[in-house]
Amino acid sequence: MKFKDLGLCKEILSSISNIGYKEPTEIQKKAIPNILIGRDILGCAQTGTGKTGSFIIPLIEILNTGKSKSRMPRSLVLTPTRELAMQVSEEFNKINKNLNLQMALLIGGTSFVEQENKLSKGVDVLIATPGRLLDHIERGKVLIKDIKLLVIDEADRMLDMGFIPDIIKINRLLPRIRQTLFFSATLSNEIRNIGKDLLINPKEIYISPYSSISENINSIFIKTNSKKKMDNLKKLLCIEPIKSGVIFCNKKADIDKLSRFLKKNNFNTVSLHGDMDQNLRISSLERFKNKSAEMLIASDVAARGIDIDGLSHVFNYDVPNNPEDYVHRIGRTGRAGKNGTAYTLFDDNDNKTIILIEQLIKKKVNKTTFDKIISSQNYLNQKSNQVKEKTNIKTKSVLLPEENYLNFRESGKIPDFLNTK
């Protein structure tokens, strides 16, 4: 099946071809025709499957005829996190490139005034996190009784984050007659029950199982002494051929600590967690996406939905508390047919959580020790050329402080790479 077989208008087909999508992904093949004939959808699919396109493409096709009134949008996409909302809005902008549909992104941490101005001019599509949408509704800045199409993305995450009461509140304000698309990475009984209240005779679409891990990801668990964790991570970052990598931490305090430590060691990093100011969150993500920062140190805010081109490595500084988050975290790499590497640092206290992960992914994880990784001759031989290459081009991130030229000026110690004897 090709995109042109889906009955999409020429403007959308042209945008799709400009983005470089050759043919619809499995979820797009199954969802788009059903959405276009007006059916409700109960979709079980993970990010990385082309899920966003599967609802944004038909949504634009449907809304392309007609116009919205001031403060009365015609469609609403609800996402659990600001980052995911931004990503959905980016996909919207790409597909809408040759059309003139108006969109407002309502997320917390950014200016109300700008969002209100946009709403008063009339928007076709609202992409929002539940809290900020309710704020606007309560201030009387937006009316959602004209919504024809509702999308709930990552319903399971909404549940985890405690947003279901907000969704129920929003649902009461929506018209009963509308089309609803409900996506979740799992279809637990709880999720199905929430779906029942929102959907009418939905078409169920089930893509890959939630617990599956892409075969392109080489995932290794490294046993490490918790006291040496930071140093070991630093050594790992030095020997690995990283193009772009995310380091996940369980605690926000560790993100800050690790960020200071790696910066001090000349690594080019940015951070992302829920307590940061929204402008900082946006700028961290932008710097990481445009490759001006090599590493992102993040909480699970970045574990889902975030799609970064060419992300070669994921490092779990901690074993995630929730086994499902492990699947999501390492799923940031090995996307779109590319290979990826995931390292998870662990100690004896993590054994129970690792068993839960193994139960979820239905196989044993690959374990080794940090010393084995470092001392493995083959490993070092294989990697040394890459390290040399990095050192030769004086990449800041691989230089230890004492070898760094700037430090050399202060310390007077000649760094190895300058010592030609």
Q: Which amino acid is at 226?
A: S
Nearer to ligand AMP, 49 or 269 (CB): 49
Question: Where are the extended beta strands (E) located within 61-178?
Answer: 75-78, 103-106, 125-128, 149-152
Tokens of 381: 């031989």
Nearer to ligand AMP, 21 or 112 (CB): 21
Helix (H) or strand (E) holding 51: helix 51-63
Q: Whole-number minimum distance, CB 31 to ligand AMP, in Å?
A: 11
Q: Whole-number minimum distance, CB 22 to ligand AMP, in Å?
A: 6
Nearer to ligand AMP, 148 or 328 (CB): 328
Other CB atoms closer than 10 Å to residue 376's CB: what's the count? 13
Is 53 a binding residue for ligand AMP by CB under 6 A? The answer is: yes
How does DSSP classify residue 398?
G
Give the contacts of 46 (CB within 8 A, at least 6 positions apart): 185, 207, 208, 210, 328, 331
Among 15, 52, 75, 184, binds ligand AMP (CB under 6 A): 52
Residue matched to tokens 């392109």? 216
Nearer to ligand AMP, 313 or 332 (CB): 332
Nearer to ligand AMP, 302 or 399 (CB): 302
- 308-337 residues near ligand AMP, rule: CB under 6 A: 336
Q: Whole-number minimum distance, CB 5 to ligand AMP, in Å?
A: 13
Among 29, 30, 51, 157, binds ligand AMP (CB under 6 A): 51
Helix (H) or strand (E) holding 85: helix 82-95
- 16-35 residues near ligand AMP, rule: CB under 6 A: 21, 24-25, 28
Is 49 a binding residue for ligand AMP by CB under 6 A? The answer is: yes
Residue matched to tokens 């374990």? 367
Site size with ligand AMP, rule: CB under 6 A: 13
Nearer to ligand AMP, 10 or 22 (CB): 22
Q: Whole-number minimum distance, CB 281 to ligand AMP, in Å?
A: 19
How far apart CA 97 and CA 396 sit, in angstroms, is 39
Question: Where are the extended beta strands (E) located within 178-311?
Answer: 179-184, 203-206, 217-223, 245-248, 269-272, 295-298
Nearer to ligand AMP, 27 or 198 (CB): 27
SS3 181: strand
Is 47 a binding residue for ligand AMP by CB under 6 A? The answer is: yes
Q: Which residues bind ligand AMP (CB under 6 A)?
A: 21, 24-25, 28, 47-53, 307, 336
